[in-house]
Amino acid sequence: MARVTVQDAVEKIGNRFDLVLVAARRARQMQVGGKDPLVPEENDKTTVIALREIEEESDQQPDPRRA
């Protein structure tokens, strides 16, 4: 089971409610849209991967609030 601390992600997005929306959108992109994860999967589900992407906020990642 993945243990995710989302405090860094909350600080980057602004509030936890927007974080849920942004992470859900990115997880859907990976599941349905066939988009590749921008961080190593490490056997995690797409929701956890989406949160890790937001926390790491790599240069490759577009601003998820605009997608």
Q: In CATH, what number is assigned to the domain containing residue 36?
A: 3.90.940.10
CA dist., res. 32 & res. 13, Å (int) = 23
Within-domain flag for 17: yes
CA dist., res. 30 & res. 37, Å (int) = 7
Domain that holds residue 35: 7-56
Residue 59: predicted pLDDT = 46
Whether residue 64 contacts residue 20, with contact meaning beta carbons closer than 8 Å, is answered with no
* pLDDT tens over the chain, length 67 residues: 566 778 888 988 989 999 999 999 999 999 998 899 999 998 999 999 999 999 988 544 455 555 5
Within-domain flag for 65: no
How many domains, the chain? 1
